[in-house]
Chains A and B, each alone.
Chain A
């Protein structure tokens, strides 16, 4: 019998260990920042607010949107931190967000960077760029792409990598850029856009779930060209020393506003507001230097090597329209590309 008592003790100990820490008072966040980046911001917040413990999940912005839809009856998180605001706009339209106008930041953020009803606010802006592996370019004897049309060059067949438009804000923002630059600049697909997007999809060697992954993959030489936000290209491919070059489409590139929002019915909205206020402070936004992002708090410092608005030609893209019509656009994208 003794051995059974020993075994029982071991199992009870294991179960006890497992039960410990099941309950804790915490703030749950969905973040679209890459995990290593989110870690930096959230640790800084926890250091400034030692009484709040943050639990977080990293999801691409499109995935946050679908997660909120899935959990609408029973929201699990209270704050949506980062990611392209087209997804925030789509979520706002679907009634998944909680308005918050009382924050200090609301006063100084200009109208084009926030929702008029206070459903989301801008954290930073970013511009889509092309990242190309220089060894690949030399081997193929081809120049890095400097226009949207260049992406269709036969040398790039199967060599382009980008994320799924439904999963990633990077990819959806890129799509909005293509639709604006090609054919008529009216939002949405026209006949030229369909031809272009289908031909572009044929060039893609691999779709990813996360937008910034393409920067590393091109850096590693797994693929030749990627469409990624310039701050991610600088942070993940240029700064580490990979053999890459960054270019922009001459006719104009696409851009995002990185958004933040409270989640309607979230279980810890009061804690979420503390985080929300903190995320807009100079102290928090100065952290963006590490990742070459362009903060929207006017007092925050810009990192050396960041790509600024004056460095690129930006297309007049109606982000609100692309947010409002996101579901229909993605259905159309699936039809054209055969990806879903």
Chain B
């Protein structure tokens, strides 16, 4: 019964747009919804109904475990954040405190049981949007180059390189950032920014370390680039070749062809890819925790220290002193979870919308 099944090669004379690296969200929806009549007939003739049913339910159980995981995560986070939720309510996300001794404004003071998520939300948003600001043009440029301009011999190595960029663990990015990027920013980039753009008050020289929002943003940009660009590439190559050819036949230059045929058709998918990148940036932990400075403060300057939601959890959760501290951190985690769920869900739907109707593509 366990006979070796030979390699199956069925040649397909169908149209294949130059074999893009499809991540694969679309193939499932292209599969025929119904099993064939032959198969139904054969299944109904099967002798081992009991074993088959057991197997079926075992597989259902495995699939259900995905739901179970989500339910358990929600339960754990809601359960863990009760204390802080009852004490602060929605104010947890907006409030600020006054330090009883120094009379300064504080947001996060575990010793005096004063907790507010505001500086962390601010840090997460600033670093993520900074990253998007830097990554979007680069990612789309890379995707355009790879799908429309790249000579064939370069395409596959470049795609592989960017894939590799996505596979490097974030702790290694963080280590690289600490040893190479932060000194570079400190010595060369930051002074230049202060000199040229200091008048915007976005760049001030009160923080000489080189750590801060900008360092976090740069490392995040490097990390989300491959995600955005590979998905953008996927939706771009889902645009039928006939569209490109039609525009070219009207006498368009290559850029006009890309703008009219490719970008216009793929725009929803590109937005989806960007949102997916945002989701990744919001939840990225280690690299950000290593370079953002980890001080729960809000500054206008992009060069000053801050902290992010994921970073504060990574730094304080294992050593939370009081139940309240622990509960406040869990509530930040819950907020992070809900935000990433919404952002990712939205992105998935957008990407699906584009790739669903795409021509059949092989990996």
Q: Do A and B interact with each other, yes or no?
A: no
